[in-house]
């Protein structure tokens, strides 16, 4: 029997412009996506569960400083890091999530423990960390989450007195560096407008395993310069993450407040369930029609029980890829 097991991942959507991306930076992203896809693909090829594959893919994305989750997370307005993550099992509809954690190395692992070991679904802050500690998960000094590039993004966002999603911060930084390199005045090169609706970064994974089960996981540092205590869509089941074997598995990235208001991840599953439409039609409707109604920008990745994969986004780019068992991984950035 040919397996249609497949894994898809994302590393955030937003203002990712080919013009402001140096080729070696682009290669670094593509290499990371390919490496992480291959690792998750191995789990599925060995008959592992979709749940294990998405947890491992997101753990690796959290450990990679290129992406806004775990090591590489963005800074809050207080110069700290507050991390959110969720995971859902399509077989049982069990789910686990944590938000506002500051010292758990891999928030997705904490989310998985909540799914498996707790009668609750979502833990926040100190309670989430006490739970993770009781589960024996790895803790790190908050300094572990510091990366110089996110720090510079935060400085720029503070200067603009705005909260800023991740990849717009990167574009802004690239422009600032280009200006500095050209030794030009701040006004002599085009300045990327800081549009609060165009700045995203999060990681996620969805998978179908060889046993026909679906799972999804999402993890994020949130948005640069966010207020302390702000929680986005990533740890909210139905908004940033959803999985049901009867329909699909979904992980989102984008302007979290809009994804929350649209219950975006669940809306893909609900459209399949109640309107009887395909995964592709449901996902396209959510990203291209529903979210834009409230200026929601970003994208999602999703897989259905037949192994169909969709990766729609309404921004300039989204770090993304998929890997079918037995085939070479595919990694993409731009539209
Ligand atoms: N959706 C995430 C949040 O609002 C951010 C992102 O995907 O960039 O926290």
**DSSP states of 155-220 as a string?**
HHHHHTT--B-HHHHHHHHHHHHHHHHTT--TTSS------TTS-B--EEEEEE-TTS-EEEEEEE
Which H/E stretch holds residue 330?
Answer: strand 330-334
Percent of the chain with pLDDT over 90: 82
| Structural domain contains residue 240 | yes
Structural domain for 105, as ranges: 6-144+197-334
Is the pLDDT reported for residue 318 higher than 70? yes
| Structural domain contains residue 60 | yes
* 11 Cβ inside 6 Å of ligand 1: no
Please write the tens of the pLDDT for every residue from 257-269.
Answer: 999 999 999 999 9
Please write the tens of the pLDDT for every residue from 125-184.
Answer: 999 999 999 999 999 999 999 999 899 989 988 887 677 677 666 666 666 665 565 444
Res. 196 pLDDT band, cuts 50 70 90: very low
* 220 Cβ inside 6 Å of ligand 1: yes
Q: Looking at residue 177, what is its pLDDT?
A: 65
| Structural domain contains residue 188 | no
| Structural domain contains residue 181 | no
| Structural domain contains residue 100 | yes
Please write the tens of the pLDDT for every residue from 56-68.
Answer: 999 999 999 999 9
Is the pLDDT reported for residue 194 higher than 90? no
Res. 301 pLDDT band, cuts 50 70 90: very high
Is the pLDDT reported for residue 207 higher than 90? yes
Q: Looking at residue 201, what is its pLDDT?
A: 79
| Structural domain contains residue 218 | yes
Q: Looking at residue 189, what is its pLDDT?
A: 29
Identify the residue whose C-alpha is closest to ligand 1 atom 1: 256
Catalytic residue among 76, 102, 171, 202: 202
User: What CATH number is attached to the domain comprising 214?
Assistant: 3.60.20.30
| Structural domain contains residue 304 | yes
Compute and round to an integer the Cα radius of gyration of the chain: 18
**Structural domain tally of the chain?**
1
Mean pLDDT, residues 239-249:
98
Please tell me the pTM assigned to this model: 0.91
Res. 242 pLDDT band, cuts 50 70 90: very high
Does residue 202 have an active-site annotation? Answer: yes
């Amino acid at each position: 029997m040919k397996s249609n097991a497949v894994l898809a991942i994302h590393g955030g959507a937003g203002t990712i412009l080919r013009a402001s991306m140096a080729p070696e930076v682009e290669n670094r992203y593509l290499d990371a996506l390919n490496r992480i896809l291959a690792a998750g693909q191995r789990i599925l090829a060995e008959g592992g569960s979709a749940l294990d594959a998405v947890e491992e893919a997101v753990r690796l994305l959290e450990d990679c400083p290129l992406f806004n989750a775990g090591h590489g997370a963005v800074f809050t307005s207080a110069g700290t890091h507050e991390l959110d993550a969720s995971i859902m099992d399509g077989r049982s509809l069990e789910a686990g999530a944590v938000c506002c954690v500051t010292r758990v190395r891999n928030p997705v692992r904490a989310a998985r423990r909540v799914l498996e070991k707790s009668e609750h679904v979502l833990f926040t802050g100190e309670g989430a960390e006490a739970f993770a500690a009781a589960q024996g998960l790895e803790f790190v000094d908050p300094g572990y989450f510091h990366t110089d590039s996110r720090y510079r993004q935060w400085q720029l966002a503070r200067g603009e007195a705005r909260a800023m999603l991740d990849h717009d911060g990167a574009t802004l930084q690239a422009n600032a560096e280009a200006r500095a390199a050209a030794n030009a005045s701040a006004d002599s090169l085009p300045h990327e407008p800081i549009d609060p609706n165009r700045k995203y970064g999060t990681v996620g994974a969805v998978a179908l395993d060889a046993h026909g089960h679906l799972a999804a996981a999402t993890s994020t540092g949130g948005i640069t310069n966010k207020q302390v205590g702000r929680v986005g869509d990533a740890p909210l089941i139905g908004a940033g993450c959803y999985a049901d074997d009867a329909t699909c598995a979904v992980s989102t990235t984008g302007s979290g407040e809009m994804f929350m208001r649209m219950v975006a991840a669940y809306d893909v599953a609900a459209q399949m369930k109640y309107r009887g439409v395909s995964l592709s039609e449901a996902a396209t409707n959510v990203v291209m029609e529903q979210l834009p109604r409230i200026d929601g920008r970003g994208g999602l990745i999703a897989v259905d029980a037949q192994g169909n994969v969709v990766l729609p986004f309404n921004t300039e780019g989204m770090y993304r890829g998929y890997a079918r068992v037995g085939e070479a991984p595919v990694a993409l950035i731009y539209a």
